Amino acid sequence: MIGPGRIEKHLIETANRGPTIAALLDPEDFSPRKAAETAAKAITAGASLILVGGSTLANQNKLDAVVRAVKNHTKSRSGHSKSHEVPVVLFPGNITGVSRHADAILFSSLLNSTNPYFIIGAQALGAIEVYKSKIESIPMGYLVFGSGSAASFIGQANSLPAAKPNLAVIYALAAKYLGMRTLYLEAGSGAGEPIAQETIRAVRKVYEGVLIVGGGITTPAAAAKAAQGGADIIVVGNLLQSPGFEGTLEQITKASKRRGTPKPTTTRSQN
Ligand code: 1GP
């Protein structure tokens, strides 16, 4: 079995220092130049990770162009020192979400989909492209909450109810026992209600991998709640499309510094 690669180790080390912000760019919403500009502003405002992807992405050429533009920018800012580069990581919604220009891919399974295609079908079809591209693969469980989002609709999710943290916990345990070192709790892009803090906290208590939380986080208060619940990476997407988002993102970064719920310590039986 493959262990964590360079980018995943970087994410783990960053997470160990405290919660951090990821800026999510959907190539459907940005030209390559605008994506690079937006990534630059997000990094200046404190984002430590750039995610590229979306649920309805169909054009792989556009994905390539966006990833290359963003990568050129992050490379030039780091003075060509790989250790200072902000990683550009793919967040695919389908087999069209693979680009060899990225640093890594969140190789995810939508665990609560009702359609096996989104649990293992797309992964099998996309795997050869990941293999050929030689990009690092980060195994991730993806859990979708609530209804009405593109992630829930496209992924045919049996969406997890917001008020039942125990259901999220059993999926988190399943992800952990399947060896998924990263878990993403998704409320859906533009969600009216982000993932509830009690859900994040309940999952955090049983899951020691990298915990990503996203969907509907547009304010420092919402980000602080996610951080205090125990999120390692807090994803901000939609907000990046608002003019002058940098000020709010900077406040979001500052508000996310404090972690509330500690990670569980792994026991002898790995429970
Ligand atoms: C969507 O969780 C992400 O997949 C981000 O959501 O666009 O609402 O920030 P927002």
Which CATH number is 196's domain given?
3.20.20.390
Best probe residue, ligand 1, of 154, 185, 238 (max atoms within 8 Å of C-beta): 238
CA distances from 268 to 3, 16, 265, 271 (A): 20, 21, 10, 8
**Mean of pLDDT values over 242-255:** 98
Phi-psi map region of 134: left, alpha, beta (phi>0 left; psi -120 to 50 alpha): left
Position 56 scores a pLDDT of 83
Position 261 scores a pLDDT of 83
123 has a pLDDT exceeding 60: yes
Distance CA 269, CA 271 (A): 5
CA distances from 69 to 10, 50, 60 (A): 22, 12, 14
Give the distance, in angstroms, between the CA of residue 61 and the centroid of all CA atoms in the same chain. Answer: 22
Judge whether 262 lies within some domain. Answer: no
Position 267 scores a pLDDT of 53
pLDDT digits (tens, 9 = 90+) for 134-182: 999 999 999 999 999 999 999 999 999 999 999 999 999 999 999 999 9
What pTM value is reported for the model? Answer: 0.95
14 has a pLDDT exceeding 70: yes
Best probe residue, ligand 1, of 106, 186, 200, 240 (max atoms within 8 Å of C-beta): 186
Judge whether 78 lies within some domain. Answer: yes
Judge whether 265 lies within some domain. Answer: no
**Ligand 1, pocket residues at CB < 6 Å:** 24, 151, 186, 189-191, 214-217, 235-239
Domain that holds residue 170: 21-255
Judge whether 55 lies within some domain. Answer: yes
Count of domains forming the chain: 1
Return the DSSP state at 45. Answer: T
Judge whether 13 lies within some domain. Answer: no
First CA to last CA distance, the chain: 20
Q: Please, are residues 207 and 172 in contact by the beta-carbon 8 Å criterion?
A: yes
Q: What percent of the chain has pLDDT over 90?
A: 86
Q: Please, are residues 191 and 216 in contact by the beta-carbon 8 Å criterion?
A: yes
Write out the H or E segment, with its range, that includes residue 176: helix 165-177
Helix pair 32-44, 245-255: axis angle to 10 deg? 40
Average pLDDT, the chain: 94
Position 1 scores a pLDDT of 63
Judge whether 212 lies within some domain. Answer: yes
34 has a pLDDT exceeding 60: yes
Q: What percent of the chain has pLDDT over 70?
A: 95
Q: Whose CA is nearest to atom 4 of ligand 1?
A: 189
Judge whether 243 lies within some domain. Answer: yes
Judge whether 9 lies within some domain. Answer: no
